[in-house]
Amino acid sequence: MSSLIAQLITRKNESVIKAQLPPFVIHFFKTVTLPTIGILVFLLFWTVGANNIDTSLGKFPGPVQVMTQVGNLYNEHVESRAKESAFYERQDNRNQARLAKDPNYQAKTRTYTGRETFVDQIFTSLITVLSGFLVAAVIAIPLGIAIGLSKSLNTAVNPIIQIFKPVSPLAWLPLVTMVVSAVYTSTDPMFAKSFIVSMITVTLCCIWPMVINTSVGVASLNSDWVNVSKVLRLPALTHIQKIVLPASIPAIFTGMRLSLGIAWMVLIAAEMLAQNPGLGKFVWDEFQNGSSDSLSRIMTAVIVIGLIGFLLDRTMLQLQRVLSWDKTTEVR
Amino acid sequence: MSLTKNLLLDISKIDMVFPTPKGDFTALKEVDLKINKGEFISLIGHSGCGKSTVLNVVAGLYQATSGGVILNGKEVNQPGPERAVVFQNHSLLPWLTAYQNVELAVKQVFAKTKSPKEMQEWIEYNLKLVHMDHAMHKRPDEISGGMKQRVGIARALAMQPEVLLMDEPFGALDALTRAHMQDSLMEIQDELNNTVIMITHDVDEAVLLSDRIVMMTNGPAATIGEILDINLERPRSRLELAKDPIYNQYRSEVLTFLYEKQRKVESISKTKTETSSSATNVA
């Protein structure tokens, strides 16, 4: 077996192997076996490395501890949901009993106020990042098109974009917090302040790559297509709708994928500081908590954050495949 | 040939000067040409002589520095569908099918005069004319180069232009496909009798297709060198013409102009800079 793998890995013998093995076996090897080997090697290094790092909270968590925590976190979620439904059942029963005694009784319903579970926090994070991303897209794509179409506007705006692009979310956050506190004053707010703060921070950080990519896409419009539009005397709006927008779809998607990746990274930092009840807050709370499980729970969050980031990127990619006419763009 | 009887397009003493960092560059100098309705004109000349500039001025994509273009008695100074252009690189929109590419043009030009049903028939008629009805719902990346150029021609024809401008329409095609496309174009010309200005590098193509061949001198300050009337009967057949002495006479006249009178001297040999009437430099 090991000699077979060694043979498969060395390119020299590839043709010999191909002659021996049916194609589906080779395909399986390439798409399943190789990544599995990669993951196994990583797990090995992780376990060995983790065993050799001692912290004040115990050893660095290895794969086994993380797996345990995945189970724990899921069980906590199930328990919390059970408690919640039990709470509502008790409340309903109590109210019905009171109503049976006294028909004029105004039933009181209170919402369950248990703390968010890990699963709830994942959803909070997803909603926050998507809201921030969508707000950014709504601003960035039209702005990018305008900048791409007008050279003067580009010259005017470009320095500002280049200066704001590299700014870390952590620099924006205090400003956003103060502004939101001052401006967003409602007695019955639809959204929590922490949500708004995190969302705006995400928006501020992921708007720039989208603006830049969109404007580059629009500016590098094939001049033949522009001439076609001129010969047809397309009105400005039709020109944008029929020529500019479809032509720059691939570039817009590249910008959107880049932005969504940044948004997800920024979000965790923003949630830590803004205390938005998402994954960032989870990590921060566990860090402050400092129990013997904390590190393995944080490590679990790290892996979940990675997985979700990966899934977000793949979703974006699938969307691009469906919506973009340019099927030739290398997709990695 | 009377030049005033059916005069459609008057290219009147066009000068074209491009400002460059090193100073003004005169691309065209006093280009003057009158074109009758239904005429097929070829513009031929060495690359860089300003053929495309002439076409772009007629199309309205460039503004002449002095002089002007008069179509049907009216000066034109912006692009428009009555001067449809077939671009060298087909320039189809890759996100639209062949049908939709033609539709974009038809909807823009006939929005007020044709019903949706009539528009659909008109699109299909034009695609049929270029023999693309079998693949009209395919996208440009699913069809060959020759087919793309056919759709490009269908799109231009569908605008029902007064002048059809073709910028080396078959330049990017292989020789066999090109011959095939030339035959198709002659067939369409027999049916529609459009007024056409076509840029070409290909002497055979020019003689085969044209009523007149306009030969341009080398730039800078290029202008019209000679105009050759091609009095060959239509329909023309490429095989029969190959043996025709008159055809070969026309052919050699164009070749003489290009390779003797306007021999292009590349700047590598800087000593031979004179371009015109150097009888010693026989190609």
DSSP string, B104-153: HHHHHHHTTTS-HHHHHHHHHHHHHHTT-GGGTTS-GGGS-HHHHHHHHH
Nearest CB to B87; choose among A224, A242, A326: A224
- Predicted local distance difference test score (pLDDT) of residue B272: 44
A243: which chain B residues are within 8 Å (Cβ-Cβ)? 93
**Tokens of residue B267, six digits:** 């700047």
Q: Do A230 and B61 touch (CB under 8 A)?
A: yes
Percent of chain B at pLDDT exceeding 90: 53
> Which among B71, B106, B108, B164 is the top mutation candidate for probing chain A, defined by the most A β-carbons within 10 Å of its own β-carbon?
B108
Mark which of B103, B133, B160 sits at the end of a domain: B160
Question: Both B193 and B237 in a single domain?
Answer: yes
The sign of the dihedral angle between the CA atoms of A65, A71, A74, A80 is: negative
**CB < 8 Å & 24+ apart, contacts of A59-68:** A60/A295, A61/A295, A61/A296, A61/A299, A65/A296, A65/A299, A66/A296, A66/A299, A66/A300, A66/A303, A68/A296
Q: Do B91 and A228 touch (CB under 8 A)?
A: yes
> ω before B220 within 30° of 0 (cis)?
yes
Nearest CB to A225; choose among B93, B108, B159: B93
Nearest CB to B85; choose among A231, A249, A326: A231
pTM given for the model = 0.78
- Predicted local distance difference test score (pLDDT) of residue B275: 42
Contact at 8 Å (CB) between B14 and B242?
no
Q: What is the mean pLDDT of residues A299-322?
A: 92
Q: Do B80 and A227 touch (CB under 8 A)?
A: no
Q: Which helix (H) or strand (E) holds B44?
A: strand B40-44
**Tokens of residue B57, six digits:** 């001025």
ipTM of model: 0.84
What is the rounded CA–CA span in Å between residue B153 and residue B196? Answer: 12
Q: How many residues does chain B have?
A: 283
B61: which chain A residues are within 8 Å (Cβ-Cβ)? 227, 230-231
| Residue B167, min C-alpha distance to chain A (Å) | 12
Name the residue of chain B whose CA is nearest to A221's CA.
B93
In one-letter notation, the amino acid at residue B192 is L
Look at chain B and report how many structural domains it folds into: 2
Question: Both B97 and B14 in a single domain?
Answer: no
Name the residue of chain A whose CA is nearest to B92's CA.
A225
Question: Both B255 and B123 in a single domain?
Answer: no
A321: which chain B residues are within 8 Å (Cβ-Cβ)? none
- Predicted local distance difference test score (pLDDT) of residue A4: 56
Mark which of B160, B180, B195 sits at the end of a domain: B160
B105: which chain A residues are within 8 Å (Cβ-Cβ)? 232
Q: Do B89 and A247 touch (CB under 8 A)?
A: no
Q: Do A224 and B91 touch (CB under 8 A)?
A: yes
> Which among B104, B151, B168 is the top mutation candidate for probing chain A, defined by the most A β-carbons within 10 Å of its own β-carbon?
B104
Nearest CB to B80; choose among A222, A231, A249: A231
- Predicted local distance difference test score (pLDDT) of residue B4: 52
Mark which of B114, B137, B160 sits at the end of a domain: B160
| Residue A81, min C-alpha distance to chain B (Å) | 49
Residue A107 has pLDDT above 80, yes or no: no
- Predicted local distance difference test score (pLDDT) of residue B282: 39
| Residue B142, min C-alpha distance to chain A (Å) | 12
More confident position, A282 or A15: A282
Exposed, middle or buried by CB within 10 Å (0-12, 13-18, 19+), for A177? buried
Provide the pLDDT confidence category of residue A186 given band limits of 50, 70 and 90.
Answer: confident
* Domain CATH number, residue B202: 3.40.50.300
Question: Both B195 and B244 in a single domain?
Answer: yes
- Predicted local distance difference test score (pLDDT) of residue B154: 92
Contact at 8 Å (CB) between A161 and A154?
no
**Lowest pLDDT segment from A162-171, A205-214, B206-215, B247-256:** A162-171
Task: Name the residue range of residue B121's domain.
Answer: 88-160
Q: What is the pLDDT along chain B (283 residues), one digit of tens a residue?
A: 444 568 899 999 999 999 989 888 888 988 999 999 999 999 998 888 888 999 999 999 999 999 999 999 899 989 999 999 998 888 899 999 999 999 999 999 998 999 999 999 999 999 998 888 899 899 998 999 889 999 999 999 999 999 999 999 988 888 888 898 899 899 888 888 899 999 998 999 999 999 999 999 987 888 998 999 999 888 888 888 888 999 999 999 999 998 888 877 655 544 444 444 444 443 3
Question: Both B78 and B103 in a single domain?
Answer: no
Contact at 8 Å (CB) between A227 and B61?
yes
Question: Both B156 and B215 in a single domain?
Answer: no
Q: Do B93 and A247 touch (CB under 8 A)?
A: yes
Q: Do B87 and A247 touch (CB under 8 A)?
A: no
Question: Both B40 and B98 in a single domain?
Answer: no
Q: What is the mean pLDDT of residues A251-269?
A: 92
Q: Do A231 and B94 touch (CB under 8 A)?
A: no
> Which among A227, A228, A249 is the top mutation candidate for probing chain B, defined by the most B β-carbons within 10 Å of its own β-carbon?
A228
Question: Both B1 and B73 in a single domain?
Answer: yes
- Predicted local distance difference test score (pLDDT) of residue A21: 77
What is the rounded CA–CA span in Å between residue A204 and residue A209? Answer: 11
What is the rounded CA–CA span in Å between residue B129 and residue B131? Answer: 5
Percent of chain A at pLDDT exceeding 90: 49
What is the rounded CA–CA span in Å between residue B199 and residue B68? Answer: 19
Q: Do B85 and A227 touch (CB under 8 A)?
A: yes
Q: What is the mean pLDDT of residues A196-215?
A: 92
Angle, vertex CA A65, rays to CA A61 and CA A69, nearest 5: 115
Residue A19 has pLDDT above 70, yes or no: no
Q: Do A232 and B109 touch (CB under 8 A)?
A: yes
| Residue A218, min C-alpha distance to chain B (Å) | 15
| Residue A51, min C-alpha distance to chain B (Å) | 56
Question: Both B276 and B208 in a single domain?
Answer: yes
Among the listed residues B50, B59, B57, the one whose alpha carbon sits nearest the alpha carbon of residue B79: B59
- Predicted local distance difference test score (pLDDT) of residue B101: 94
Q: List residues in chain A touching B: CB distance below 8 A.
A: 222, 224-225, 227-228, 230-234, 238, 242-243, 246-247, 249, 325-328
- Predicted local distance difference test score (pLDDT) of residue B265: 62
Contacts of B13 (CB under 8 A, 6+ apart): B30, B31, B32, B66, B67
Nearest CB to A233; choose among B61, B79, B141: B79
In one-letter notation, the amino acid at residue B1 is M
Residue A50 has pLDDT above 80, yes or no: yes
Q: What are phi and psi of B271, to 5 degrees?
A: -75, -35
Question: Both B70 and B127 in a single domain?
Answer: no
| Residue B101, min C-alpha distance to chain A (Å) | 10
Nearest CB to B94; choose among A228, A232, A325: A325
Q: Do A230 and B79 touch (CB under 8 A)?
A: yes
Q: Which helix (H) or strand (E) holds B31?
A: strand B23-36
Q: How far from the centroid of its chain's Cα atoms is residue B6's Cα? A: 20
| Residue B79, min C-alpha distance to chain A (Å) | 5
> ω before B94 within 30° of 0 (cis)?
no
The sign of the dihedral angle between the CA atoms of A230, A236, A242, A243 is: positive
Ramachandran area for residue A14 (φ above 0: left; ψ -120 to 50: alpha; else beta): alpha
Question: Both B182 and B152 in a single domain?
Answer: no
Question: Both B179 and B242 in a single domain?
Answer: yes
DSSP state of A32: I
Q: Which helix (H) or strand (E) holds A69?
A: helix A63-101
B84: which chain A residues are within 8 Å (Cβ-Cβ)? 231
- A-B contacts at Cβ under 8 angstroms: 57
What is the rounded CA–CA span in Å between residue B139 and residue A324? Answer: 13
A246: which chain B residues are within 8 Å (Cβ-Cβ)? 93, 95
